[in-house]
A and B are shown apart, each in its own frame.
Chain A
């Protein structure tokens, strides 16, 4: 990997430096398909960059990481450019000081790849209405993560207030394998669901979200219960034909139980952030079902 530091710089210098680095490496702008802007702080930037770079293997992207530093300092922009030889895409880390921290979009916007989608991602705390955030405004897809909030459950419960189509939350992405498994359990008729319960470790944002989705789709009351975890541990649905359940106690292997059928074990591992991100980047159109689920959750 080639990296390059620019101290006290601006967007246009960063652009030309990037072009120069690429030329030096003999690598022309290879098919990058999108720009991913990660809004971080110093404490979570390392993990965010790692996840984003891994996801870029599936979706070659320009990754722009915006790190706000002290507001008290004089205005200043430092940049670090990384171009990987082994991985596609390129990474730009921006460190903003002083008043510039409130005008990050002025640096980011000239660094976006032209004419390709822009995705904004807040791995940590996020604005109330991501779509109205100056950087959120540049993006057609905005990814938040309720888990990073001090109170994850409250965060996910209140997502619908700031929701604009194009928003998603990684708490939703985390439950895709659960939803997929539950959907297969219903591929053969099982009867109507009368009630259900989703169990997860306390404060886990995905549990209420999964319950909301189920309740919305099945039109039945679904409760949330606490368990020792880790993460989600079970979904039990009482149907007219008997219980359908998925239980997972080791965060890896789950057991599916359906009335009149043998119990079956299915791999249901928790996924690293890079995989969640890769899933997000696969489809860039608004996720209506997420919208429906958080609305139902808030009701």
Chain B
């Protein structure tokens, strides 16, 4: 790790801006006689604002964003006057966009459809047609926003959500600068929301950041890693820091190793253009898995505000060490034709739009160590893949064997290691695995699981990740969004691995529906460990 990713000047500006923002909200609370910190029933509601959505016709907008906005409204969390502006290259009127929104809500919203909520939302829906290169379209957007401020009382507060392929970010951001939409007048705010991928290596991530940070201050940039919006992921913090049960053993004295897995059963579907050349590690490890690792391994933050939380995550990411020999400490693969859950499926190279000589991996596993007092010598194994046995994301902390076992060898033959598993999806919850006596037998001890079904029972009404994140954007609450420094630190870890893999030709095949290539199992076997069977 050489230079600091962010100049100190930027840091100072960020901190100052954050302090200013916090001060105003406190002042507002003090000035408002109807608010009281003891009044825990009143939800956090954003102030009046407009959400401008680029890429409304896209998959993400229809499946996640528009439904999440409705669900927020349904829970009474959208401010009066909230307005939604869609931007797309369609010759549409407001009502066409409203229709698209209506359909998306009907199909994907999690809360029941209510006419009055829809009416409230519908009143604030506007559409601006245009291409990203079209200056006139953005001038029209600026005018439309001004008008909305007048008719809806949104006070010049705009959030710009870039749900478009990253290659258009520069163009859109530039247009926002040119039209002055990026500059917040006194007393209002402007925010920009970007989706992953945040570049494909350190260099491109820095370039991308240079583009946004030239126009928006870091404190106004919200990077979405939707994993961080998930209740179970936030629950990692509660589990670790609200209890006294786990933290004392959460270190090298008791933990043998950790496994962080995100497995998908689907293939690349129609996303060949996006996926080829990117691969599993960039798509998943760089963001989701390293963020999970940071939350599991970090020290306790002094508070849960954005700065304190990010500082601890950064410290862990900085302390990460790659394996000495990348050939032995990493594994990659690409799925070949096989059977997935009872259906025959094609291999990666036979997918539409994938060149036969592609060297893109669809499975990646890496072994990382954390060079600090808490974790020295405890490997963290990260793996992700497509077309694996089933869809599951989890963090498993595997404990050392008991130092002495007063049982005969036969009695504990099938006793494994204790484990604490945080199930992120599906079936959110926590499992603890420990040995228990088998009834009736003399003294045979065997692994059993104790289950906390967090997800199943709460799932129905717990908000979707995007709901939580959208609300945080509108309120301006940044803890759940990765900072640019975290993004860059993650690329510093991944870049050497990617460079090494690029020199190794095509990845090893694994039959679709299985749990990855043999090299990944061998990597574990060399350490005397095995992957958890999921």
List chain A positions with a Cβ less than 8 A from chain B.
28, 30-31, 57-58, 60, 88-89, 173, 176-177, 179-189, 214, 217-219, 252-253, 256, 258, 261-262, 264-269, 278-279, 283, 285, 287-289
B246 within 8 Å of A by Cβ?
no
Query: Closest chain A residue to B77 by CB distance?
Result: A180
B461 within 8 Å of A by Cβ?
yes
B33 is contacted by which of A181, A186, A265, A278 (Cβ under 8 Å)?
A186
Given pairs A179-B41, A183-B45, 19 additional interface contacts (CB within 8 A): A31-B457, A58-B460, A173-B41, A180-B45, A182-B34, A184-B47, A186-B34, A187-B35, A188-B28, A218-B34, A262-B150, A265-B119, A266-B80, A266-B120, A267-B114, A267-B120, A283-B41, A288-B38, A289-B36
A89 to B42, CA, bound (A): 28
Whether B461 contacts A57 by the Cβ 8 Å rule is yes
Whether A269 contacts B153 by the Cβ 8 Å rule is no
Residues in B neighbouring A186, C-beta threshold 8 A: 32-35
What number of A-B contacts does a CB cutoff of 8 Å give? Answer: 117
Q: Which 8 A-B pairs have the closest CB atoms?
A: A252-B116, A261-B153, A88-B457, A183-B34, A267-B116, A267-B117, A60-B457, A264-B80
B123 within 8 Å of A by Cβ?
yes
Query: Closest chain A residue to B41 by CB distance?
Result: A176
Chain B: minimal CB distance from A159 (Å)? 17
Residues in A neighbouring B453, C-beta threshold 8 A: 30-31, 88
A184 is contacted by which of B80, B114, B155, B452 (Cβ under 8 Å)?
B80
Q: A184-B80, A262-B151, A267-B76 are in contact. Are A30 and B457 (CB under 8 A)?
A: yes
A-B contact pairs, 26 of them (CB 8 A): A28-B451, A30-B457, A31-B452, A58-B458, A58-B461, A173-B41, A179-B34, A179-B42, A180-B42, A180-B43, A180-B76, A184-B47, A186-B32, A186-B35, A217-B36, A218-B34, A252-B116, A261-B153, A262-B150, A264-B80, A265-B120, A269-B117, A278-B461, A283-B40, A287-B40, A289-B36
Query: Closest chain B residue to A250 by CB distance?
Result: B116
Give the number of residues in B that approach A within 8 Å (Cβ atoms): 43
Query: Closest chain A residue to B79 by CB distance?
Result: A184
Residues in B neighbouring A184, C-beta threshold 8 A: 45, 47, 79-80
A176 to B116, CA, bound (A): 18
A180 to B75, CA, bound (A): 11
A181 is contacted by which of B40, B80, B155, B456 (Cβ under 8 Å)?
B80
Residues in B neighbouring A283, C-beta threshold 8 A: 40-41
A57 to B458, CA, bound (A): 6
A63 to B45, CA, bound (A): 32
B73 within 8 Å of A by Cβ?
yes
Chain B: minimal CB distance from A194 (Å)? 13
Q: A180-B42, A269-B116, A289-B36 are in contact. Are A189 and B452 (CB under 8 A)?
A: no
Whether B114 contacts A269 by the Cβ 8 Å rule is yes
Residues in A neighbouring B460, C-beta threshold 8 A: 57-58
B153 is contacted by which of A177, A264, A267, A289 (Cβ under 8 Å)?
A264
Q: A262-B150, A264-B152, A267-B119 are in contact. Are A189 and B80 (CB under 8 A)?
A: no
A133 to B32, CA, bound (A): 38
B115 within 8 Å of A by Cβ?
yes
Residues in A neighbouring B43, C-beta threshold 8 A: 180
Whether B42 contacts A176 by the Cβ 8 Å rule is yes
Query: Closest chain A residue to B28 by CB distance?
Result: A187
Residues in B neighbouring A88, C-beta threshold 8 A: 453, 456-457
B454 within 8 Å of A by Cβ?
yes
Q: A180-B45, A181-B80, A261-B153 are in contact. Are A289 and B119 (CB under 8 A)?
A: no
Whether B451 contacts A262 by the Cβ 8 Å rule is no
B527 within 8 Å of A by Cβ?
no
Chain B: minimal CB distance from A163 (Å)? 16
A179 to B73, CA, bound (A): 16
- CB under 8 Å from chain A, chain B span 44-65: 45, 47
Chain A: minimal CB distance from B452 (Å)? 5
B81 within 8 Å of A by Cβ?
yes
Residues in A neighbouring B115, C-beta threshold 8 A: 252
Query: Closest chain A residue to B456 by CB distance?
Result: A88
A197 to B36, CA, bound (A): 22
A234 to B116, CA, bound (A): 17
Chain A: minimal CB distance from B150 (Å)? 7
Whether A177 contacts B76 by the Cβ 8 Å rule is yes
A214 to B81, CA, bound (A): 23
* Interface mask (B429-457 → A, CB under 8 Å = 1, otherwise 0): 00000000000000000000001111011
B39 within 8 Å of A by Cβ?
yes
Q: A258-B153, A262-B152, A266-B80 are in contact. Are A183 and B35 (CB under 8 A)?
A: yes
Chain B: minimal CB distance from A79 (Å)? 24
Chain A: minimal CB distance from B423 (Å)? 13
A60 to B73, CA, bound (A): 25
Residues in A neighbouring B36, C-beta threshold 8 A: 217, 289
A179 to B42, CA, bound (A): 7
B20 within 8 Å of A by Cβ?
no
A288 to B461, CA, bound (A): 26
Whether B34 contacts A262 by the Cβ 8 Å rule is no
Residues in A neighbouring B151, C-beta threshold 8 A: 262
Query: Closest chain B residue to A289 by CB distance?
Result: B39
B31 within 8 Å of A by Cβ?
yes
A183 to B28, CA, bound (A): 11
Q: A217-B34, A252-B116, A262-B153 are in contact. Are A183 and B42 (CB under 8 A)?
A: yes
Chain A: minimal CB distance from B400 (Å)? 27
A279 to B461, CA, bound (A): 12
Whether A262 contacts B81 by the Cβ 8 Å rule is yes
Residues in A neighbouring B80, C-beta threshold 8 A: 181, 184-185, 256, 264-266
